[in-house]
Amino acid sequence: MWFCPLDGTLLQVRHDGMSDTNESNGFFFCSTCPYSNPICAMVTKKTFPSRKVVDDILGGAAAWENVDRTMAPCPACNHKEAYFMQIQIRSADEPMSIFYKCVKCSTQWNEK
């Protein structure tokens, strides 16, 4: 982001079309004062940050090894049986959260 050097306002961008050399005739301008500056740099390459690997909050596959089964319909495949576990994720005066994992398709969901 670029800010006006005179008053600190976020600069706006305005384009006046394309020139003969395929360069943008754009410029930055301040909406509160007369400051303006032509855009000189062309963006030639976009880079994106790598995404952080997110850990499974329920403990991964090992957390589902020794859990009980119950009759609960899967929202994805409508299978009637699912594994379940109860975890206290909120304060102690709130009820425990129940997490389910379908026996057939391994879809995970929780009771709201």
Q: Quick one: which of 66, 101, 33 has its CA closest to 12?
A: 33
* CA dist list (Å): 5 to 9, 25, 34, 39, 41: 8, 21, 11, 15, 18
Structure tokens at 14: 């305005």
40 appears as a binding residue in the annotation: no
30 appears as a binding residue in the annotation: yes
77 appears as a binding residue in the annotation: yes
Cα angle, residue 108 at apex, residues 106 and 112 outer, rounded to 5°: 155
33 appears as a binding residue in the annotation: yes
Binding site per annotation, positions for Zn(2+): 4, 30, 33, 74, 77, 102, 105
Binding site per annotation, positions: 4, 30, 33, 74, 77, 102, 105
